[in-house]
Chain A
Amino acid sequence: MPLTSHLFASRLSTPKFEARWPAAVVWLCAWALLWYLDGELNLANLALLLVLASAIAGVWLSAWASVVCSALSVLMFNWFFVEPRFAFSVHVHQDLLLLVTMMGVSTVVSYVMARLRWVADLEHQHAQASEQLRALSEAFGETRDLRLQGQHLQSALAQGSGCEVSVLLLEDEASGQRQASQLIGQPQAQDVQGLWACVQQFGAIGPGTGRHENQPTLFLPLRGRTSVFGAAALHSKQPKPMTLQQRDTLQQVCDLLGLEIERTQTFRLAERAKADAQSQSLRNTLLTSISHDYRTPLANLMGAASVIHDQASRLSTEKIASLAQTVLDEAQHLNRMTTNTLQLARLDAAPLQIKKDWESLQEILGSVLANARQRHPQRRMVVAVPGGLPLIHCDAILLVQLFDNLIENAIKYSPANAPIDIQVQAKAETLEVRVMDQGPGIADAWKDKVFHAFERVHTEAAQADASDVTQLRRGMGVGLAVCKAIAKVHGAKLWVEDRAPHGAVMCLSLPVDQQPNVMVEA
């Protein structure tokens, strides 16, 4: 990374020798013209020519050089052109006026020009310096490695100051260990002390800083907006002290890294806070689940079981059987919710740790349907799966859970006598599975929300019937949320559509990967 000495160059400006030749040319031309016009014009007019030349030459000369040139010209003019020629006898009044005029004009011109040059120069240097600071800042930004950033700083400072540089960097403040630090370079023991002192005092130490003026090493802090993130020690080899400007520039370079480190830390803190907030929100979701969704089936379970326990002798066999069925149903319901909740937590914590393999969608749906039919022997399910579907690369257990939830929801949210339709279609590069019910459907406002944990759909129709509301409340939230999470880890899309005349369609679009090679025998 080039950081040239421009940054630190002296800002006093004198035109370079190469830049002065136009002045010489101007003077030569003026003299040539004077010789040529000698005798043609009178002395006063020739003198004006001289004033003109002096003014123009002033553009390229410093003020002093202009004055000297002008004085010389006046003398030469006097010697060659003023009668009596080749002698310095002067008509004091006339020549003095000429001399003063020429000197005045050329001095003013030179001064103005010098001033202009100085300003332009300064601007150029500023531009260059900020360009280099920008490049340095980019170099800092390119890496997250603190050590590498420190090395960039070290080389930049060394180049800029000609000093031996060592850098102290403090590790992440957020880790709570302010002691953790890195040293770059080989500082002497007392320099290490100086570096720490510089960090602790939040300010520069050393010659020209007003603190510990007599010691040879200059310590500069790496300042951020709110804190100090390290320090740099510049161990000077020459006794010549730095100018204020040089030190300012070096401090700017140090602060650049300070700000960069602060920015990185702020960013990291924000990330961490975001992750914390996310896991907090999941925890809240799970707590909501346990406190509400679990209590209802548990209450039913306890009610039924306690009736059997306390009153068995006074109950008919049928009544006991029906209570036992309630216990079984509720237990199964709790099992499903637990599985879903745990899966949601697992997928949220480690979405990448799933075990994918080549699976047949037909098989997966087959085993889901077998379970669903066992649970709901009375329910009609119409299944259309074409043969010869491509294999999908997925976690079979997760997809079973997904379809199981979709079918269970469809069953729960539609009238008992209406069939559930399950269809699979092969599209270009995807397999689309649709689970369709003939229930009330899902309002547009809820089409996204149903997939968010623990939000439930309340339709007007359902609210009319208290038992339906109870039905609606049960298990939907986590079920669809886990479906969404499973779809996400498979790069699949899951959404709701309307069904005519009424009902909901849950659509899952699974990506189909490049199929593995299999030698098929006849």
Chain B
Amino acid sequence: MALKVLLVEDDRELRQTLRDALTVEGYEVMASGSVADASAVLRHNMTSDTPVDLLILDLGLPDGDGGDLLHTVRAQYALPALIISARHDDANKVALLDAGADDYLVKPFSISELLARMRVTLRHRGTVVLAPQTQYHCGALEIDLAKHTVLKAGESVHLTPTEFKLLARLVRQAGQVVTHRQLLVDVWGAEHVDQTHYLRLYMGQLRAKLEANPTEPTLLLTEPGVGYRLAE
């Protein structure tokens, strides 16, 4: 059965384009242009037999902020959300990621980027309830969190406890961006939330151990101003 997507975007042209493109890809798309309309659709749909599987949310909506809608959604449903924003909402975007949005895309974006992000987000759907991802395999790197092993081209790599915790946090959300704040809180603790320099140094060390070329990483990717993403 087709996956159901609710697309909330106020620009009619973009909404139509995305709707067509997603339909071609086999998604069942419901489109909405305002917070009020989207809330109504969700109320109606989430209790039905075929609830919405993914929310794609634009931030600037005519009757309110997309962020408010996200908070409502987060409070009521286990529905993954993908933010699409114009560049000037940078700070807002990070705040929403911290508040529980699954990923983001900056406008303008290509349809292939959107599809890739949607796939990752849908795969992580329900990570809160279900067991999170504990195994990761990409390129020469193999990670098994349960067994506490990190192999690079078959060779075991020694990581310090903090390095391992940091890597593990990224593995659990592989393919998705994890914000600086989320990483600092989960790895170092809430009191270290402003100490981004810890993150920089440990990411540097991890890259030195795991990447072939630490300057141009292929696995531990940087999202400037937002956070990090483990490639898939």
Contact = CB atoms under 8 A, between A and B. Distances in A.
Given A360-B200, A391-B200, A518-B197, A367 B221 contact: yes
B141 to A, nearest CB: 17
Given A357-B196, A359-B200, A520-B201, A364 B87 contact: no
A370 B197 CA distance: 22
B59 interface: no
A96 to B, nearest CB: 108
Interface residues of A, number: 34
Contacts of A518: 197-198, 201
A370 B229 CA distance: 13
Contacts of B162: 521
Most B-side CB within 10 Å, residue of A366, A367, A383, A518: A366
A446 interface: no
Contacts of B214: 362, 387
A136 B12 CA distance: 69
A400 B221 CA distance: 14
A335 interface: yes
A522 to B, nearest CB: 7
B204 A397 contact: no
A485 B200 CA distance: 26
B25 interface: no
B208 A387 contact: yes
B201 A385 contact: no
Contacts of A239: none
Contacts, number: 69
A366 B198 contact: no
B90 interface: yes
A369 interface: yes
B195 interface: yes
Nearest to A515: B197
B108 A335 contact: yes
A360 B160 CA distance: 20
Interface in B80-123: 87-88, 90-91, 108, 110
B154 interface: no
B139 interface: no
A339 interface: yes
A360 B221 contact: no
Nearest to A521: B160
A363 B203 contact: yes
- How many chain B residues sit at the interface, stated as a range, is 20 to 34
Interface in A325-366: 328, 331, 335, 339, 342, 355, 357-360, 362-366
B204 A367 contact: no
A113 interface: no
B217 interface: yes
A424 to B, nearest CB: 9
Given A367-B222, A370-B221, A516 B195 contact: yes
B216 interface: yes
A365 B207 CA distance: 14
Interface string A229-243: 000000000000000
Contact of A363 (B87, B88, B197, B222): B222
B223 interface: yes
A367 B215 contact: no
A373 B213 CA distance: 15
Given A364-B222, A385-B215, A358 B160 contact: no
Contacts of B160: 521-522
Most B-side CB within 10 Å, residue of A328, A335, A358: A358
B200 A358 contact: yes
B223 A367 contact: yes
Nearest to B204: A360
A391 to B, nearest CB: 6
A383 B90 contact: no
A395 B224 CA distance: 9
Contacts of A397: 90, 224-225
A76 interface: no
A339 B208 contact: no
A369 B218 CA distance: 11
Contacts of B223: 367
A342 B198 CA distance: 32
Interface string A167-196: 000000000000000000000000000000
A521 B200 contact: no
Contacts of B87: 339, 342
B197 A366 contact: no
A396 interface: yes
B221 A362 contact: no
Contacts of B108: 331, 335
B203 A360 contact: yes
Nearest to A328: B110
A364 B208 contact: no
B216 A366 contact: yes
Contacts of B208: 387
B195 A383 contact: no
Given A339-B87, A383-B215, A400 B197 contact: no
Contact of B215 (A328, A366, A391): A366
Contacts of A355: 91, 225
17 contacts: A342-B87, A360-B200, A360-B204, A362-B204, A362-B214, A364-B224, A366-B216, A366-B217, A366-B222, A383-B216, A387-B208, A396-B225, A397-B90, A515-B197, A516-B195, A516-B197, A521-B161
What are the 5 A-B residue pairs with the smallest beta carbon separation, nearest first? A358-B197, A396-B224, A397-B225, A360-B200, A385-B215
Given A360-B204, A363-B222, A366-B216, 9 more contacts: A358-B196, A360-B203, A362-B214, A362-B215, A370-B216, A399-B224, A400-B225, A518-B197, A520-B201
Interface of B: 87-88, 90-91, 108, 110, 160-162, 195-198, 200-201, 203-204, 208, 214-217, 221-225
